[in-house]
Amino acid sequence: MRNGDFSREIAEIRPFYGKDPSQLHNSPAYDWVPRAQTAVLPNDIPRGDLCAMPDAGLHSYDSSAPDGVVPDAARLRRAAWASTTRRVRGPLSIAKNATSPKPGDLILARVDEIGFHGGLQLPDGRRKRLFVGDEIVVAYANRYAPNQFEAVVPRSYGPCQLVAGGGVAARVLSWHGSINKTATQITPLAAVAGATGAVANLKDYALPTLDAIPEPRPRVLAVCGTSMDSGKTQTAAFLVKGLSLTGLRVGFAKVTGTGSGGDTWLLKDACANPVLDFTDAGLASTYLEPPREIERVFLTLVGHLAKANVDAVVLEIADGVLQAETAALLKSPVFAANVSGVVFASGDAMGALAGTNWLRRYRLPLIALSGVVSSSPLQSQEAAKTTGLSVLSRQDLLRAQTVLGLLSATDRHGRTRNRPTGSRQREDDGVELRVLVPEASFHPSPHRDMAERRRDS
């Protein structure tokens, strides 16, 4: 296809995207097919156009491509590979046959218009600045982000959007009212093929699935919260750091959410080892996955951390407790049987109260509060008074007294679970320590951290 022809095709579909995101609501999410679609399907692009490229000569390329790209797929080698592809290994080539995309399928795509996500997280942690015309390798996935986009895997290989900085391709359905840019527009050029010649999928490179957590089981602390940007990742990172400062070896896993390299590197900086997330279990996102699949991811990640002989595991459960996949996991007997304690992150005292009531309804071992609420002394006092739980700031979580108190609380919850039926017990044991927090430790820095993460997520 000549460049001029492609420009005309893009001009024809541009009104469907436009500068005003509300225009997307006028089209069915799955069934609308742009007129340019037949011109951009992988099978309609000449093989030589994708696989053959002149030698670079003196030009250098900062390639993030994995090892094993076949010699005649030069554009795959020169493309920027997203962090969601970090487990992918060769042999890799251009797929000769591709029908409709599935979650986890890898595609080579071209950036057509820079929108909300102006950068792409690479496997090595670097954030690449995107330019129109850049070619990138990303994974199809659904996305649920209340403060950004809701998006789904399209039914065809037509133009779509980059909906996450970690490297997720999908079709946008809705977005937060504060989003003042459309999603970055991309056009799939070709599907990526794996060793068998079939379209490569992240599940092809995942850790072996485990259906049980091996003995001896480490202590497992889970961090969940009211919603996106409630401070869960910061809470998890400082909890990991605090535990590691006591001499414990701590593993970390993010069980649900959308693939983000920034979270992975933050937890490594906090001294978690190993650091895993759902992409290690073969998913670029957990949105719209069935409960059994989420349980598989949970057992696989915690099981592999246990096999690494860690002393403690910290988990992050994405989004809020009312989000469908998160709620299903928290209600699951698998979760209840394997999690020793839950730390709940919220943005304010009312959210803390509602969240603790929800968690207590399902008899989960809630031991403390944290998150953005901890940046306000008054909100922290309200939350502590109404829930009976300690509100821990990031600096609190670095103190040995605090984190050892959390571990002690998990012991009490374990004994509570084993009490005979009918025995009296308190509604929630919490952390039996009084956390004295100096005034200087309360500051709005969690908001700044989340603003930086938002640009990269």
The strand ranges marked E within 131-249 are: 135-140, 143-144, 149-152, 160-164, 168-175, 184-193, 219-225
Position 211 in a domain: no
Residue-level pLDDT at 43: 41
> Same structural domain for residues 166 and 309?
no
DSSP 213: P
Position 314 in a domain: yes
> Same structural domain for residues 195 and 244?
no
Residue-level pLDDT at 411: 82
Contact partners, residue 166, CB within 8 Å, separation at least 6: 82, 83, 84, 121, 258, 259, 260, 261, 262, 284, 457
Position 302 in a domain: yes
Over the stretch 176-209, which tens digit does the pLDDT of each residue have?
999 999 999 999 999 999 999 999 999 999 999 9
Q: Which of 204, 227, 252 delimits the end of a domain?
A: 204
Position 214 in a domain: no
Model pTM above 0.85: no
> Which band of pLDDT confidence, cut at 50, 70 and 90, is reported for residue 49?
very low
> Same structural domain for residues 233 and 177?
no
Position 131 in a domain: yes
The strand order across the sheet containing 366-370 reads 275-277, 250-254, 312-320, 219-225, 341-345, 366-370
Q: Which of 204, 239, 271 delimits the end of a domain?
A: 204
Higher pLDDT, 408 or 19: 408
Written as six digits, the tokens of 226 are 């009211």
Position 306 in a domain: yes
Written as six digits, the tokens of 43 are 């099978």
Q: Which of 306, 266, 260, 296 is nearest to 279 (CA)?
A: 260
Q: Which of 204, 228, 256 delimits the end of a domain?
A: 204
Mean pLDDT of the chain: 83
> Same structural domain for residues 261 and 400?
yes
Question: What's at 210, amino acid-wise?
Answer: L
> Same structural domain for residues 235 and 184?
no
Beta bridge partners of residue 219, listed in sequence order: 312
> Same structural domain for residues 248 and 130?
no
Split into its structural domains, the chain has a count of 2
Beta bridge partners of residue 315, listed in sequence order: 222, 253
Residue-level pLDDT at 82: 98
CB 366 within 8 Å of CB 344:
yes
Mean pLDDT of 349-356: 98
DSSP assignment of 372-386 equals GGGG-HHHHHHHHHH
Q: Can you tell me the distance from the alpha carbon of 254 to that of 301, in angstroms, rounded to the nearest whole number? A: 9
> Same structural domain for residues 319 and 445?
yes
Contact partners, residue 197, CB within 8 Å, separation at least 6: 93, 95, 96
> Which band of pLDDT confidence, cut at 50, 70 and 90, is reported for residue 456?
low
Position 168 in a domain: yes
Position 324 in a domain: yes
CB burial of 325-356 (b: ≥16 within 10 Å; e: otherwise) equals bbbbbbebebbeebbbbbbbbbbbbebbbbbb
Over the stretch 263-297, which tens digit does the pLDDT of each residue have?
999 999 999 999 999 999 999 999 999 999 999 99
> For residue 430, what is the domain's CATH number?
3.40.50.300
Domain span at 240: 219-456
**Cβ neighbour number for residue 210 with a 10 Å cutoff:** 18
> Same structural domain for residues 181 and 225?
no
> Same structural domain for residues 187 and 264?
no
Over the stretch 203-234, which tens digit does the pLDDT of each residue have?
999 999 999 999 999 999 999 999 999 999 99
> Same structural domain for residues 120 and 82?
yes
> Same structural domain for residues 226 and 179?
no
> Same structural domain for residues 72 and 157?
yes
